[in-house]
Amino acid sequence: MNKGVFHYDICIVGGGLAGLSLAALLSESGLSIAVVEPTPLPLNPVRPAKDDYALRISAINLASMRLFEHLGIKPALLDSRASGYQKMQIWDANSDAFIQFDANDIDSDQLGYIIENNIIINSIFDIIKANGNIIFHTDSLLDIEHKPDGIEIKLEKGRLHTQLLVGADGQFSKVRALAKIPTELGTFNQTALVCRIQTEQTHQQTAYQCFHHSGPIAYLPLMDGSSSIVWSCDTDKAAQLSQLDDKAFARAIQDALQSTLGAVKILGPRAAFPLAQQHASAYIDSRIALIGDAAHRTHPLAGLGANLGLQDAAVLAETLLQAGQQHRPMHSMATLRKYERTRKHQNALILDTMAAFKAGFASRSPGLTSLRAMALNSVNHSPILKTGITRLATGISGDLPKICQPLNF
């Protein structure tokens, strides 16, 4: 054992939604866990002021909410302005295609919740900070070295030794790069513009998404009556929109949503996120597993990226805990392969579907425009199909980790 090197069973690199959720799910396992994250936790502001909404906001589906319920943070999220939405309307700006999803169709109170990422991260941190098995290193991963008895990890400020290394370090994952795991990268040549707005008419706890050839614009309903917009469009167009002053930008948003909620007022700063689809060719390597955006990244049009990462965390936690119960080494390739087999294929299906959806709406071909109108309208008028899709998208049915399943699943 090297002097000055901290030894752990599991080292999770990245304290975002995926990494922190995994740490929390393993917090009762008795395993010693390190979380390496350069940004000090809790994130600032710890308790955001009434009008101080963060720009990174996620639509959290019912499966992820059950994971949060399992962790015991659902009440804190609901208290911290998680905004439930009961309806979602999606339409095509270039045809009469329209579909509405309704929580009533799946006998649920909500279709999902709009929550600031920072609030989720701080709520998870709150419940695990006092757990003696989890140690936080405010640091960055620099390098790794495989040893006969584990992996030695070089951080900016120290060294760790671990039996298993989990890369939860996001789209530019250093763990993935050091493990030399290639990724398939598909660029959409799109950028998502994000900002908070007030609309003339109330959003009625409904999420709205209008598809243009250049990409979709979504209005996500917030608790205080304002909305968060995610406007994904071609990067040239996003650059032009970014140049507009608030008044002109508000007008552009209103036009893009075809005045559905009337006039728009900009309430805060804007941010731009370049979009790409990325899939790691493997989720595992010797003593290494990737979760969340480190393993996959998709277009935000279905609001799924964080939800998929949370399911990765749930499946990996369940797989490791089961290996422990059966006295099998949790870092063995057989254990890790079980995780990869469960998640990689499912994520690939969703990534492919999102890419096809995006390409389908981008097409200007009149044939394809009427085809997608026909498809969307037929689903809208078929209660069985619509309910099936809603159950899958919200995480009521499908191949879910146990932690994310409804009680009567």
Ligand X SMILES: Cc1cc2nc3c(=O)[nH]c(=O)nc-3n(C[C@H](O)[C@H](O)[C@H](O)COP(=O)(O)OP(=O)(O)OC[C@H]3O[C@@H](n4cnc5c(N)ncnc54)[C@H](O)[C@@H]3O)c2cc1C
273 lies in the binding site for ligand X (CB under 6 A)? yes
Per CB under 6 A, the list member of 9, 11, 16, 108 interacting with ligand X is 16
Residue window 317-356: x/- pattern of binding to ligand X, with contact defined by CB under 6 A: ----------------------------------------
- Give the Å distances, CA to CA, from 290 to 170, 185, 244, 340: 9, 16, 39, 9
Output the smallest distance, CB 176 to ligand X, in A.
10
CB of 328 to ligand X, least distance (A): 27
User: Is there a cis peptide before residue 45, judged by omega within 30 degrees of 0?
Assistant: yes
Three-state DSSP class for 265?
A: strand
165 forms beta bridges with 11, 288
- The reply on whether position 303 binds ligand X by CB under 6 A is yes
* Number of residues located near ligand X, criterion CB under 6 A: 33
Burial status of residue 326 (CB atoms within 10 A of its CB: 0-12, 13-18, 19 or more):
exposed
| Interface pick for ligand X out of 222, 264, 306, 336 (rule CB under 6 A) | 306
b/e code 138-158 from CB counts within 10 Å (16+ = b): ebebeebeeeeebbbbebeee
- Is there binding between residue 293 and ligand X (CB under 6 A)? yes
Q: Can you tell me which of 14, 84, 215, 221 binds ligand X, judged by CB under 6 A?
A: 14
Task: Determine, following the binding rule CB under 6 A, whether residue 221 of this chain makes contact with ligand X.
Answer: no
- Kindly write out the interface string for residues 51-80 of this chain, putting x where it contacts ligand X by CB under 6 A and - elsewhere: -------xx---------------------
The answer to the question of residue 194 lying near ligand X (CB under 6 A) is yes
Beta-carbon-side half-sphere exposure of residue 365 (alpha carbons within 13 Å)? 7
Q: Which listed range, 33-41, 43-51, 71-79, 244-252, lies at the site for ligand X (CB under 6 A)?
A: 33-41
Contact 305, 298 (CB under 8 A): yes
Applying the rule CB under 6 A, the residues between 106 and 145 that interact with ligand X are 117, 140-141
For the bound state, the minimum distance from the C-beta of residue 57 to ligand X, rounded and expressed in Å, comes to 7
* 128 Cβ neighbours under 8 A, 6+ residues apart: 20, 23, 24, 27, 134
Query: Which among 386, 391, 389 has a CA at the least distance from the CA of 405?
Result: 391
In whole angstroms, the minimum distance from the beta carbon of 289 to ligand X comes to 13
Residue pair 15/41 in contact (Cβ under 8 Å)? The answer is yes
Mask of contacts with ligand X, 227-266, x by CB under 6 A? Answer: ---x------------------------------------
Going by C-alpha positions, the residue among 116, 61, 85 that lies closest to residue 206 is 85
Residues 19 and 120: their CA atoms lie apart, in Å, by: 12
Report 158-177 residues binding ligand X (CB under 6 A). Answer: 168-170, 174
Binding residues for ligand X (CB under 6 A): 13-19, 36-39, 58-59, 117, 140-141, 168-170, 174, 192, 194, 230, 273, 292-293, 300, 303-307, 309
